[in-house]
Each structure stands twice: as C-alpha cells, then as structure tokens.
C-alpha cells in the first residue's frame, strides 16, 4: 500500500537491532485516517473470505483492528497478555515470545469469545519473527475456529515470520513489506507488491 510505504519513509525511524519506530502514526500517536485506508485495503484483499471476527493482541494491534473492523462489520477480540494464568478452563492460553520486550508472555482469550463457528482474520501492527501471529493461530485452533487470513501493517521481510506463517498455508497480506533497512543511513527498501494499491 503506497500510502503506508510513503508514510514509513517520511516518519519511520530505523533503530539498531532491526527495530522500526513508527510511534508518530501507529504505536503511540495513531493516524486513524491511515488506519481507515488500511481497513479498506484489507477488505479488498480478503473480500472472498467469510470473516465474522477479528482477533488481535494487546496492546498495539487494538487500534488498527478496531478501525479495520468497521470495514468488515464484525467484532474485535483482543488476546490479553496475562501476568498469571488462571487455569480454570474458561480461557484458551498460549505463550508468546515478545520481540520488543524480549520476554515470554502467557496470552489468553476467554472461551466465550472464540468458538468453532468463528472465521477469523488476525490483525497486527508488525510481523517480525512471527511469534505473536503464531500464538494467535494457536488460540484459534484450540477453539476449533478457522483462520481465514492474517492482515499486517508492516512486515519485516528480512525476518522469518512471513515465511513461517505463509508456510502453514495461511493467506498473509502485509501492507508494507520492508525488504531491508539501514540504521546508519535511515534507508528503507520495500518489496514490490503488484496486487496491492
Ligand atoms: P513477532 O512476534 O512477529 O516477532 O513480532 C511482532 C510483534 O512485535 C508486534 O506485535 C509488534 O508489536 C512488535 N514488533 C516487532 N518488530 C517491531 C518493530 O520493528 N517495530 C515495532 N514498533 N514493533 C515491532
């Protein structure tokens, strides 16, 4: 999505350690008009899928997921990062290794909000090593629900997550795929995606 690529070029900051900071329009201050354009594009890219729910993970996926959901007219469920898991049988749980905080979280979704009739679109801000998305797929499969696809704002194509998730046969659409980025010059190269706007 050209508008997102241009915004990343203009306002994104490449940090050491393969981190792209997009705090001024995604991760701290949020540009909801841009999120809205992203929602329109995801709706087009997943038009043939019978999506009835969007699943994301707290905290940074929630804002995007809510605006995207307005294009699908479906509810958003966010997986919660739990400090301690209560094994009362009322939640699906999995573990996720955090890329940004370098620690493992227990992640939970109540069984009330995920069930075998659900056809889920996963939405998140970034795809790096794929741990967050893999965890969400795990929760969906525990519920016997169907993964219809994964919609990502920014994929770092030089990390393994995209290949891992696509390797499972899941449709992954990332609106900007960073092929390479250089912290010393700030240069960012995007992958060509002819099927996107
Ligand atoms: P993964 O689980 O795919 O390794 O990492 C994805 C998660 O880590 C995303 O939910 C996102 O919050 C965070 N993340 C990974 N890489 C970056 C990055 O370069 N910039 C920012 N802002 N967040 C990232």
Burial class (CB in 10 A: 0-12, 13-18, 19+), 139: buried
Averaged pLDDT, 92-121: 93
Angle between helices 60-72 and 32-45 (to 10 degrees): 60
Mutate to test the pocket of ligand 1, among 65, 97, 99 (most ligand atoms within 8 A of CB): 99
Examine residue 59 and say whether the peptide bond preceding it is cis (omega within 30 degrees of 0).
yes
What's the CA gap between 43 and 51, in Å, rounded? 10
- Average pLDDT over the chain, rounded to whole? 96
Predicted TM-score of the model (pTM):
0.97
pLDDT of residue 102: 80
Q: Which of 49, 39, 55, 46 is nearest to 137 (CA)?
A: 55
Averaged pLDDT, 120-148: 98
The number of beta carbons lying within 10 Å of the beta carbon of residue 173 is: 20
For the cut 90, the answer to whether the pLDDT of residue 33 exceeds it is: yes
Tokens (6 digits) for 154: 């920014």
Q: Is 105 in the pocket of ligand 1 (CB under 6 A)?
A: no
pLDDT > 90: percent of the chain: 91
Tokens (6 digits) for 129: 């090593």
For the cut 70, the answer to whether the pLDDT of residue 85 exceeds it is: no
CB 89 within 8 A of CB 130: no
Q: Per residue in 61-77, pLDDT tens?
A: 999 999 999 999 999 99
What's the CA gap between 171 and 6, in Å, rounded? 24
Mutate to test the pocket of ligand 1, among 62, 107, 132 (most ligand atoms within 8 A of CB): 132
- Beta strands 91-97 and 188-190, pairing class: unpaired
């Amino acid at each position: 999505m050209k508008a997102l690529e241009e915004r990343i070029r203009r306002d994104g900051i490449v940090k050491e350690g393969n981190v792209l900071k997009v705090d001024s329009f995604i991760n701290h201050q949020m540009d909801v008009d841009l999120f809205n354009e992203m929602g329109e594009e995801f709706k087009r890219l997943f038009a043939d899928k019978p999506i009835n729910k969007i699943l994301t993970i707290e905290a940074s996926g929630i804002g995007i997921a809510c605006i995207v959901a307005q294009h699908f007219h479906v509810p958003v469920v966010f997986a919660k990062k739990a400090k301690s898991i209560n094994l009362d049988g009322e939640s699906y749980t999995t573990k996720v290794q955090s890329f940004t905080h370098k620690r493992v979280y227990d992640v939970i979704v109540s069984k009330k909000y995920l069930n075998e009739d659900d056809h889920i679109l996963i939405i998140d801000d970034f795809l790096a090593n794929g741990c967050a998305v893999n965890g969400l797929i795990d929760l969906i499969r525990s519920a016997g629900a169907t993964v219809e696809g994964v919609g990502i704002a920014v994929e770092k194509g030089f990390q393994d997550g995209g290949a891992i998730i696509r390797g499972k046969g899941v449709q992954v659409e990332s609106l900007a795929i960073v092929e390479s980025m250089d912290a010393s010059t700030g240069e960012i190269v995007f992958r060509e995606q002819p099927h996107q706007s």
